Amino acid sequence: MTVPAVSPIPRTRPGLGVGAIAGALVEPGHRHHALRENTDGNKEGGESGRFAGSHARGRPSSPLPSIDDLLDLAASDDFHRWEAQLAATGHCAHPIRLEGRIDAIDKGTGQSAVMYDTATEPGSILRIACGNRREDVCPACSEVYKNDARQIIRSGLTGGKGMPDTVATHPAVFATLTAPGFGPVHTTRMSRARQQLPCRPRRDAHERRCPHGRDISCPRTHQPEDPRLGRPMCPDCYDYTGHVLFNALAPELWRRFTIYLPRQLARLAGITQKQFRAEARVRFVKVAEYQARGVIHYHAIIRLDGTTGDCQPPPARYTAAMLSDAIRQAAAVIRYDTAAITAADPDLGRILRFGTQIDTRVIYSGGALSAQAVANYIAKYATKTTGASGLPHRPVNGPAVIAGLHCAAHHKRLISTCWELGKHPAATALGLNRWTHMLGYRGHFLTKSRRYSVTFTALRKARTAHRRQQRHPDGEKDPWGRDLDEHTVLLMTTWRYAGTGHATTAERQLALAAAARAREHDQIAREETWLN
């Protein structure tokens, strides 16, 4: 047993200070603006600003703390300790509150003594980070996740974190696999000359009408923020069942793609599959992203390795251009017949496949599409969900709850379809009632093949070890002043869950201000690192 990773070890973060308290005191209408100003010229500044703004608007139930409350908190003896705890959680927005202690028992003498007790903490509480990946749930924890994702992706392209630098010479391709169409939707289209074209212009003198009598033309040129983007021209023509089934089975399509890709490579190389397996391996990392219409598509980095375990280049016959061709061919032929699951009801029968827009781009070290750009792009999507407003964070239970959601009719209908399919006897195998809030998608948002690069767990362990080392530069001691040795001392931990979130409104406001500053600080530090 070890001392858990919850030890309240402060990270090197900027302190709160008077500026943060002043920030927390800004009136709700001004806070958004104040944070924006602080982060001028900083690419991710808008995110913290947006978060603070939507927070102020989105939670009328939690009143702002009075100035007296904030000053009381800042003046209390516990303040610096509390500030340190906050920093140790990485300024998590919804920290998990724990009570308890760690006892050490000397195995030789049977003596026991307290190693750590939350009674010594402000409010007798230890706060640990919620660890949520989603930016809209916890900006702080999502930032940690995003940084880890970036490192995982980048080390697989340029080396580092246990990967050899020579990995940069392997054939590598950035591929986007989209979903097929489920009915006409409002969209943005580009001409070959990169000029934006109207959505769905009338091509003849007569109106274009669907079987339901609706006009399915649209002469507009939609701007990127246009809420109409992705909405069906006619909801009754739109194949909601096919859409939800695609989201639900996209991971299966991807699995088939990864099985088929090596076959395609062998074919292009003019060798047998057995020969291919003897000399090369396909590794990948991918993220799932929702398109505006609420359907999943995948962005992936796909790399070729040799077959030795230490990540050596594949034989010279494999080029990035060949890998691109193989990806496009494999993605174009993959099919999944839903009858394998929904045979009991022919109405649910669909042949699922990827869309025809398969984009592949070769990643060159030092080229236009750099490893850094790709890593940033993919890491960004790893912390997002649908991006559409008003969608629930958790599964929704039944038609009454769905009707009460404040989201677009299109998304409501997707959620309803997902709910109904979950109750449909022919589709029970998909368990869709648990995934209504995901519009049917049941997979992870970031996945990778085991040998692509370092793992999230390894990065987390390294971080914990680093913080422990910072906290105990001379090694951790047991209660009797000896070097902590778990052969001689048994550590017993007792934790009790005491709630989630900040205990008071004043605490939450100060934590938000500190979190915004910490993110800004990290962003500047990261940009400086890249410039060097």
Q: Where on the chain is the footprint of Zn ion (CB under 5 A)?
A: 92, 129-130, 138, 141, 186, 199, 210, 212, 218, 220, 234, 236-237
Residue closer to Zn ion by CB (options 197, 343) is 197
For the CB of residue 9, give the shortest distance to Zn ion in the complex, in Å: 17
For the CB of residue 92, give the shortest distance to Zn ion in the complex, in Å: 3
Q: Give the pair of three-digit tokens for residue 494.
A: 């007792």
Residue closer to Zn ion by CB (options 220, 466) is 220
Residue closer to Zn ion by CB (options 186, 448) is 186
Q: Which amino acid, residue 314?
A: P
What is the secondary structure of 330-351 as a DSSP string?
Answer: HHHH--EETHHHHTT-GGG--E
Residue closer to Zn ion by CB (options 84, 491) is 84
Cβ(234)–Cβ(183) below 8 Å: yes
| CB atoms closer than 10 angstroms to residue 194 | 6
Those residues with Cβ within 8 angstroms of residue 94's Cβ, 6 or more apart along the chain or in another chain: 130, 132, 137, 138, 500, 501, 502
Cβ(476)–Cβ(483) below 8 Å: yes
Residue closer to Zn ion by CB (options 212, 466) is 212
For the CB of residue 204, give the shortest distance to Zn ion in the complex, in Å: 18
For the CB of residue 115, give the shortest distance to Zn ion in the complex, in Å: 26
CA angle, 316 then 320 then 323, to 5°: 100
Q: Which amino acid, residue 183?
A: G
For the CB of residue 93, give the shortest distance to Zn ion in the complex, in Å: 5
3-state secondary structure of 392: coil
For the CB of residue 295, give the shortest distance to Zn ion in the complex, in Å: 17
- 3-state percent breakdown (helix, strand, coil) of the chain, nearest 5: 45, 15, 40
H or E element at residue 298: strand 296-305
Q: CA-to-CA distance for 271 and 264, rounded, in angstroms? A: 10
Task: Return the beta strands (E) in 8-132 as ranges.
Answer: 96-106, 112-117, 126-128
Q: Which amino acid, residue 134?
A: R
Residue closer to Zn ion by CB (options 117, 239) is 239
User: In degrees rounded to 5, what are phi and psi of residue 200?
Assistant: -140, 80
For the CB of residue 199, give the shortest distance to Zn ion in the complex, in Å: 3
For the CB of residue 519, give the shortest distance to Zn ion in the complex, in Å: 12
Residue closer to Zn ion by CB (options 82, 174) is 82
Residue closer to Zn ion by CB (options 167, 185) is 185
Cβ(245)–Cβ(272) below 8 Å: no
Residue closer to Zn ion by CB (options 234, 407) is 234
Angle between helix 67-75 and 505-531 (nearest 10): 70
For the CB of residue 233, give the shortest distance to Zn ion in the complex, in Å: 8
Q: In the block, which residue shows the tokens 């212009």?
A: 201
User: In degrees rounded to 5, what are phi and psi of residue 350?
Assistant: -140, 145
Q: Give the pair of three-digit tokens for residue 253.
A: 């399509």
For the CB of residue 379, give the shortest distance to Zn ion in the complex, in Å: 17
Q: CA-to-CA distance for 409 and 232, rounded, in angstroms? A: 10
Residue closer to Zn ion by CB (options 365, 505) is 505
Residue closer to Zn ion by CB (options 4, 251) is 4
Rg of the chain (C-alpha set): 27
For the CB of residue 183, give the shortest distance to Zn ion in the complex, in Å: 8
